[in-house]
Structures are given as C-alpha cells and as structure tokens.
Structure 1
C-alpha cells in the first residue's frame, strides 16, 4: 500500500485526569504526537488503548481531515458527530442544494438523486421525464456525540472539532460512558468492550452496530500502521487474542436481521431489504426499474454518490415515479439497503447499455460539500459488498469494470455534456481497491507501455473550485490529476469537445474534462522534466509525475490504434449490435457515433472486449423482455475520463 507506513512511533505515556464536566480544559495538546494522545486518553478514561485505536481507525483511519466534517457530520479521528450537520434540511428534499449542490460551471450536479438533465434510463427511444420526488419523513437526528463528549470532558465543541488530541479524549470519554451504562467498570481486557464499541457506531440498526464492532475487533487482531493525512506516524500492534465471546452480540441484543433473500447481500454486512416498486403508473408507463427473467450478464458495478442523505435516498428509490439503483450505503455505520435483485435493471447510470449490464451502488455523500469526507465504515461495507457481487457475477476487480458514474459515457452527442460527475475526485479509489484485496499498483510493470494513474491520496491535493459556490474547495486528498497541453503547470488544461463545445476546461470539482483518476490505465505518450504524457481524448495530455512523488505507475495491457489505412475511427457510447441482428418485430437501435474520434498514430488502453448486445425492455410484462445479440465486436477503451467503445474491425489490437 503506497501510503501506509509501518514505522511505530512510541512516546512516553502521561496520565491525565479528565476535566470536570462543564469546564473548559485549559491544557494544550499533549506532546509526543497523535500516538501519545491515544495512549494518554486511553489511560485517562480506562479504555484499552487497542480498542480506542481500532475504533478510531474504523471511523477515520486516524486522520484529522483538517477539521472538516464527514458526510455524516462527524469530526476528527474519533468522528464525533454534530447532529445539527447530519440532519437533512427539510422532509425528503435532497441535501446539499443551496449549500454544496451548486451547479458550478456546468449546470450539473454530481449525483443523480438531484442531478440536472441526465436521463437516468439512458435510452432515447424510451426517454424518462425528470422524475418528481415525493416528500418523505424527515430523518431522525443521530446521537449528538460531539456535545455529549463535550459534557463528559469539559472541552468546548469547537475544540473537539479542530484539535485531534482533544477529539481523541472526547472519543475515549464516550467509550467509557457507554461502558458505564452497561454497569461495567472501566479497564479490563479489550474483548470485554464489545458492547461499548457497538454502541459507538451510533447506529439505529442492531446488525450495523454489530458489524461495526466486528470490524473493530478484526482490526485489533490484524493490527494496522500508516501515516495520517497530516503526517502523524501511527501503529496498532496486532493482538490475535482479541476475539469477543461468541454470545456477546446476543447478550446485547445486537442480533443481525436476516440478509435480503437471494445472493446479493453478503452475510458480512448489515443489510436491509427495502424494495423498489415495480408497478404500472398509467398510460403504458411503469416504474421504477426493469426486470429480466433470464440470465443477465453483469459487466460493471457502478459507484455513485447520491448527493443526498441516506434517508432521502431510500425514500426516493421507493417512489414508483422516481428512478432506481440496487443498493444504498449509509456513511456513519456502513448500513446497506438493497432495493433490487441482481437480475433487475436499475435506472441509474444514464446509459441504457451500461444500465442493462450493471449493478448500481449509491453512497451517502456529495461530490463537493465543503470538503466532506467518506467514512472508513462506509468504504469497508461497500468493498465487502462489491467483492461479494464481483464473485457472484464474475466481474473483474479493476477500474474498467468497477467504475464511477463519472466514467460512464454519454449515449449520443446530445447527452455527453449532461452526464453526471459523481463520485468525483474525493472518492479514494486506491483505498477502495486495497479493501477489495486488489491494490491498484499490483498491475505495475516497469517496462510497460501504459501508465496507471495512482497519486498518494493523502498527500496529493490538487486545487478545485465549486465547493459551495464559485470559490476554492478546502484543501484535501484527491484521486485525480490535472491534464495539461504541455509539460508545465502554466500550460492550459486539455480540451474536451463533448463537455465543452465552446470554451475550455475548468478546475471546477464537477468538471472532469481534463482529469484522469486513480486506477485508470492510459497509453504512455511521453516523459519530460518530471511530467508524463498520455493519449487522452485524441490529444497528448501531460500530468505532473515527478520522481520521489510519482502520481502514476508503469503498467502493461492491451492497446488499440486505428488499423492501417484509416486516418481515424469513430467512437460510441454503447456497444449495440448490427441492424441485421434484430428479430422481426423488434425495432433496431441506431448506432450513433459520438463527437469524438481516435486519430491514427494514437494508442488507447482496452478494458474489455465483447460482442454487441441490446436488452429490450419496453413493456411491464417482463416475460416479453429479451436480449438481442450481434456479431459486431467492440473494445471498451479508456479514451478520456469516461470509457467509450470502438469497433474491433476499425482498430489493430496490440497486446502490450
């Protein structure tokens, strides 16, 4: 793992008596760094140090996040939640509008739950009108652990938000309080703290609380070591003996409810079955998804953020007039709600070809909400779910198949500009693939003809605009690199003729026209003065990639270039079959080229190769739905930030 450090920093332990409740703690941050702060807080409140460290790791990976809140309203290494930030404004309206959901430069939000012009079904032969959202009940506020910690420690809330050492003391005080509520004394073996740990998740779902506690104890057994986002080396030594007694969760009433029927929810995550409705809604219309009774081929798992709260999303997906996706994940505890079976087709990606071959995951969060970050609990639950789905449906664990909504291409020239941009540059793809057990750098090949984009997320902080207005976004780790027309930071950003028919690319957080993201593989086009060039959108694009702080790794893999005699080849947003493949009575789908072309002499990486197909689903009666298979072979290529399709007959495949 590129940004993990295995060096332990051991500091002297100092016993500190907790301040009286209601009084400000005048002491400055303890010397010795964050490792010492955990040791001191643990001893002060009688919490096993390994428990305190592991709980924090599950919340934040020990990061301070520059005092910025998570998407669940939590602050600091211990994720102390300010309930005032976590409660949706209104009853069922999407969060973020007017705060961080500004349209920026492009009239486009990140996620589809309150996005702009994208047709979520992505089929111009059966367009879906902008869905109306029905107000749902307001979410109940989560426990305000920030202010409870303030009362327990006497430390003001503002300091608990901003000072990591104070925040750690607040978390220790909470764990000790939850232990006290069980009628148990402080101290004791780590395994005796299972109940307090489960309650720390602040979950209203017993299964999610138990899953959180299980992850904490798995972390204690395995150990962990890394350097935090603000440069603090941290270590949790492994303790294989930290196995809670088997009946612990039962005694605490933390029984997991049965997972949703079928193979789609793994037993290792807390999962609710909240089905999306499949029903007629008048005038030949139905919602809010399609069904297919045969075997549905799955090529993609699409990662979204919903630009909304968990509660708002699960309310919306159960509206037959709205859209649909397969799973929703909650930030604060990783709770999963399943809405569709794997064989069902959700309306989520804005491209019918991709929808018909994908499973969609919505994550509570925002492309840009004042620097909000995603919790470790949600990353872990999502990775467990995706790993299970990938095994079940045979989906390869790489960035050609595990894609963001922002990687899905437009279907026609008219739809390219309005396609959505979630989960955006603040989704940590490198961390996600580590949790999937497929680190992105495992594909590195020193003499390969490609590069995989792979910045150090914590240290890599490119500037963005558009977080809550036209100003700069707060500095924070990001997965993307900026692409320039020359090897210089002063050179203009490369142009995307589909995203910007007139004018140039911008640094708005919702504008990926000149960005490449972690895990994406591109053909290498040059190297000069600490900059690397790739072929991107029909041009040579340069990103800063200096020795000692590399933002890419060399890799190998198949590439394509136009076959001899062709000056360029067309690109497509869908891999549809040829006209002759359609049976009588089925209207052939037009194969419409996009406004891009692949020029001779340029190379692009291949993600998958398949024959064209079209899943026809135009009636409520699912028994009449069918898959039309063709003979035309397509290569999926990484042409820009989004993938696109090229006919195999138009290109030469180079196995590099």
Structure 2
C-alpha cells in the first residue's frame, strides 16, 4: 500500500474519474481492477493537463500519438567522459530510428471517437484504453472474462511482460490517491496470481524485469581514438548509481548508443511501460557523468523524460522498473541505498573550476526521490535527534515556485507541481535572497529556474544542522549557513544522525575527483592535477560524511583493455555533502566527528 495518504483512504472513491473507469470497464468487458492497474502504471491516473508525455502519450491511459513527441534536448552536450587526458570529440546525435506505436489512432478506430476527443477528454481516454485491452484479449482468442487473472496475456501484449508483472503487483497491493483533477481513485487489493517474467536476453537485470540487450558501440574512430565506452579486464569498484533523464524520446536511443562518436550509459528505461534496455556491461566504464573519476566508479541509468516538464511523465511504471533495477545493482555491487551513493546527474561534482558551471541538472527537482526509495524498501527516514537533517518534503503537497519550464530563459512561473527540493535562503525569511553558488554561477545571483540548483537541497540528502529559528532550519551549504522553511505542521526535513567533518583550518580546499598523489603514478602514465574547486571551507563549519576512500585513477587511453593502468595511491579523501553536489576533501584537512 505504498503512498496511500490517510485522507485518500478515508475519502469516498465514487464519482468523477472512478466512475469513468467503472463505466469503461463495463462497456468493454474488462475487469475494472485490470483497467485501473494499467492506468496507474502509465500515469498514476493523472491527466497532466492534456499535455503529451515524452512518448507522445495522452491522458490516464497514455494513448500515444507519435506526432506529439517533443524534440530532444541537449542532455549530452559537453564532455560526459570528463577526462582531461583525452577530451571527448562528440558528433551531433543521430535522428530517431524506432517508430512509436500509434495507440491513440487505434483507440479512435475501436471506439469511433475522434482522436482529438481521446486526447482532451478524460472519460473518452479511459474508454480508449479499455477498448485497446479488450481488443488485445480478442486477438489472443480469449474470452472477455470477469476474472482479472485471465487478462495477463492481454496486458503483456498491451505493453510487455515486465509491465504486466508490475500491473499485477499493483493489483495485489492495491493503490489509492487523489489525482491531478481532484478525483479520489482507489484500486482495492485484488487476489491475483504472482506472474513472473522470463529472462530472455543477456542483459544484467533482476528476474522481475525482462530487459533487452541493446549494446553500445565499441569501435575505433580513427588512429588514436575510439568509442563509446571503456572495456575492462578486471573487476572495478562501484560507489555510485547515477540517475539521469534523457531529455529526449526513447525512440532515438538505438541510434545514439550505436554511434561510436557519441557517448554511452549502462541502461535506459522507457516511460510508458518501464521497459529496460542495457547498453554497457556494469563491469565496464560508460561515459555519462561528465566526471571521469565518477564514471570509473559508477553505473549510469537514463530515464525517458524531461526535467522541466514538472515530473509529468516520470511514470509509476518507470519508477518501479528503476527501483527494481537499482536495488538489484546495489546489492550486486554493494552500493548503499542512500542519497550519497544513489545520486542524480545533478549531484555529480565538476572536475575543475572551468567545468563546474556546465555540469548537468537532471533529473531535476521533479524526480520523486521519496517514492523512489520507498519502492526500493529503503524509505527516507530520520535517525533520532542527531546533529544532521535529511531533506524530506511531502512530494505531493510541497509545491515550491520554479521558472524555466517553457524555456531555459523564461521567467514565467511553472505550473504548480509536487517537488523533492527546498529553496535555501541567506536568512530565515521567505523574502531573503537565495544563497549563491560561486562555482555554478560565478559572479551571478541564484535563480528559481528548474535548471539552477545553486540554492536547492533535495530529498534524502543529509546536511549538518547549522541552526533553527521559528519554522526555519539552517544547514551548512557551500561554506555558508543556508535557511529553508521547515514548519512542524508540514515538515520538509527530519533530524538525523551520522558522521560529520569539520575543517582544521580556515582554508580547506574542496575537490571534484579523488585522485592519487603524484608519486603514485608509474612511468608512462600522465599525472592528473589536483584541481581545487571554487569553494573554501572554514573552521566552525560542518558537513556530512558519506564515505572515505583512497585516491585512484584509471588510465584508459587505449582501445586494447590490456593496456589500461589503474593508479592507486595512499592519499585519503572524505566524500561530503557540500552543496547540491557531492564533493571531496582530503582526510588530513578535516576532523571527523562521529
């Protein structure tokens, strides 16, 4: 019963959208629980204001019109490899190659309703989804049975077997929520069998997911260059799983990953049905994070979506597939299930002062970290009355102001929507200026843009407590006290325990890579400079400590993996939560406080 608010459980689920599902189920002979389960995974029963998804899908049933697929963004501009020893020379992305299924037009033929009506009218959209499911059942030669268990095959045809598995999981659990049109919709727990998907490919996935193996290109692109990832002969350490969004449609993924002059990542997850494709083995290094040190120690997962779309089509199907995958990978590679190790692309540090402003901002404030971790059975919770706080607003009701949803330069306020971030101010007052980030926006003030996280803290991140004043809480953030609203009646953070570090001097440097000392490099391997970032820590400040590691650098400049060299030093680093991004300090420059 994940995410069931008490008010929703107590509310009457009659009238409005609930009645639309009931009427459509009766009209087309589809069990109401099946129809509700399919819609919940595709949209959580939301209409999203009639706006299309990243796949061109409309309404609670996500009826797809391929002509409505938005253009891709600039997600991979820059240097995702992030290695100064061999900067990336990237081509323009190739055009999309995978055609989208036109379920909206098919629903129009089955129902006799105009496509425009199916897009904008919620009741018609639900009827269209019911008609499609009934048609899939008939194509299987099966009767329109009132038994939900008899519809597994039709649901699998509607999307894929992994999607069907999750639909039946939702039906067993039950669900209920207030949708974006104000309706209260409930799916009572339904006793249906636990269907399992069969693993049919070479992809590294849990048994609950039927993943595709869609390999990335590994080819020479000239005498001294190759793409688009690095293969390793020995086991590597994995410290992070990085959550990205694609800023484009899944349709273009096959062409992009097969281009040796493009970049790479390990997995992509489709929005409409949670389908998973793997491109790079988790034992190999993909070029996705813009920081070579992080690339060598991470797994990158792309999610079909746009950070500025208000979380509109980060679907339940996508969240559930991603949660299953991340939990599996975290267990396999011994990665802790917390926000210091399961990070967004927007939490990856820059490598040098020059690269910090261009580091990426996805998946953005609308990615629901709380729901994501709850699905992994690792809910974001406090731990007593310690000297830290964990950011944890209620996603559905916490709707801070953002700009930039229309375009990156637009000052127009975004439509109200739940978010996982809090704004950070210079004083405990809503009219106080936002704190500034000297690295991301040098010489410029922070903004309320969805693309600007200079003054934001995100759900699950742990910070050292710096003070309280009425309904306001202060944390240590980028070398300053940063205040956010945290009213007892609607808290946006919880107290927590955990180790902290405090500087031993007033001039402690911060780094974006945990590289070894010069003396550790063997002959023939270029020394990697320790480039301090534009932040300085001073005595009396405190920052949360996530892990301690010894400096290392993977020199992987050859198409032949046998020529790669891993440099391991003795210099120790602490990973801290400095601002919105994680960063590193030398262990000898700080004192650890348990």
- Shorter-chain TM band: over 0.9
Alignment partner of 2:390 out of 452, 465, 468: 452
Instruction: Provide the residue aligned with 1:480 in structure 2.
Output: 421
Matches within 5 A, 1:94-243: 95-96=71-72, 101=73, 109=74, 111-112=75-76, 115=77, 118-129=78-89, 131-133=90-92, 135-136=94-95, 138-145=97-104, 147-153=105-111, 157-201=115-159, 209-243=160-194
| 2:34 counterpart of 1:51 | yes
Alignment partner of 2:24 out of 30, 35, 41: 41
| 2:336 counterpart of 1:414 | no
Instruction: Provide the residue aligned with 1:593 in structure 2.
Output: 532
Instruction: Provide the residue aligned with 2:546 in structure 1.
Output: 607
CA distance in 2, matches of 1:626, 1:333: 41
Instruction: Provide the residue aligned with 1:637 in structure 2.
Output: 576
Contact 1:9 1:233 in 2 (8 A): no
Contact 1:371 1:467 in 2 (8 A): no
CA distance in 1, matches of 2:396, 2:107: 28
CA distance in 1, matches of 2:264, 2:209: 21
Secondary structure of 1:417 counterpart: helix
Secondary structure of 1:413 counterpart: coil
Instruction: Provide the residue aligned with 1:490 in structure 2.
Output: 431
What runs of 5+ residues in structure 1 fail to find an aligned partner? 13-30, 89-94, 102-108, 202-208, 247-254
The alpha-carbon distance between structure 1 residues 179 and 227, as it changes in their structure 2 partners (threshold 3 A), is: same
The alpha-carbon distance between structure 1 residues 363 and 371, as it changes in their structure 2 partners (threshold 3 A), is: closer
Secondary structure of 1:282 counterpart: coil
* TM superposition shift of 1:163: 4.6
Contact 1:220 1:242 in 2 (8 A): no
| 2:448 counterpart of 1:465 | no
Contact 2:228 2:287 in 1 (8 A): yes
Higher mean Cα deviation, 64-73 or 355-364? 64-73
Secondary structure of 1:548 counterpart: coil
Alignment partner of 2:53 out of 33, 54, 70: 70
Contact 1:9 1:235 in 2 (8 A): no
CA distance in 1, matches of 2:470, 2:20: 42
What runs of 5+ residues in structure 2 fail to find an aligned partner? none
Higher mean Cα deviation, 232-241 or 444-453? 232-241
* TM superposition shift of 1:332: 1.7
Contact 1:465 1:507 in 2 (8 A): yes
**Residue deviations 1:142-182 (CA, integer Å, cap 9, x gap):** 2233x444454455555544454443333223323333334
CA distance in 1, matches of 2:20, 2:12: 9
| 2:64 counterpart of 1:81 | yes
The alpha-carbon distance between structure 1 residues 402 and 134, as it changes in their structure 2 partners (threshold 3 A), is: closer
Secondary structure of 1:220 counterpart: helix
**Residue deviations 1:330-372 (CA, integer Å, cap 9, x gap):** 2222222211111211111010100111111112222224764
Higher mean Cα deviation, 182-191 or 283-292? 182-191
The TM-score normalised by the length of structure 1 is 0.85
* TM superposition shift of 1:184: 3.8
Instruction: Provide the residue aligned with 1:24 in structure 2.
Output: none
Contact 1:327 1:361 in 2 (8 A): yes
Instruction: Provide the residue aligned with 2:201 in structure 1.
Output: 259
Contact 1:229 1:458 in 2 (8 A): no
Alignment partner of 2:286 out of 340, 346, 359: 346
Higher mean Cα deviation, 209-218 or 309-318? 309-318
CA distance in 2, matches of 1:506, 1:11: 41
* TM superposition shift of 1:415: 0.7
Larger RCO: 1 or 2 (CA < 8 Å, sep 6+): 1
* TM superposition shift of 1:477: 1.8
| 2:492 counterpart of 1:541 | no
